[in-house]
Amino acid sequence: MKIIKIFSILFLLGIFSLYLNYFSSFVMPWQKEDAIKCALSWGQLEKLPKNSEIISMKKKGSIFTRQFIIEFESSESEIKKWMQLSKGFQNNIPEIKENTKIYEIHPKSLQSYGGRVEITGNKVLINMSWS
Residue 58, beta-bridge partner list: 69
Residue (of 29, 94, 31, 80) closest to 51 by Cα position: 80
CA distance 127 to 131: 14
pLDDT per position as a tens digit, 57-67 = 998 887 788 89
Place 26 in a pLDDT band, splitting at 50, 70 and 90: low
Looking at residue 32, what is its pLDDT? 81
Tell me the average pLDDT across 103-113: 82
> Is residue 50 over pLDDT 70?
yes
pLDDT at residue 102 in the model: 97
The band of 90, judged by pLDDT with boundaries at 50, 70 and 90, is: very high
- Within 8 A by CB and 6+ apart from 68, the residues are 27, 35, 36, 38, 39, 42, 57, 58, 59, 126, 127, 128, 129
Determine the Cα–Cα distance for residues 119 and 101; give it in Å rounded to an integer: 5
- Mean predicted confidence (pLDDT) in 90-101: 94
The confidence band for 37, taking pLDDT boundaries of 50, 70 and 90, is very high
- For 62-85, how does the pLDDT look when each residue is reduced to its tens digit (9 = 90+)? 778 889 999 999 999 999 999 999
- Indicate whether 18 pLDDT > 60: no
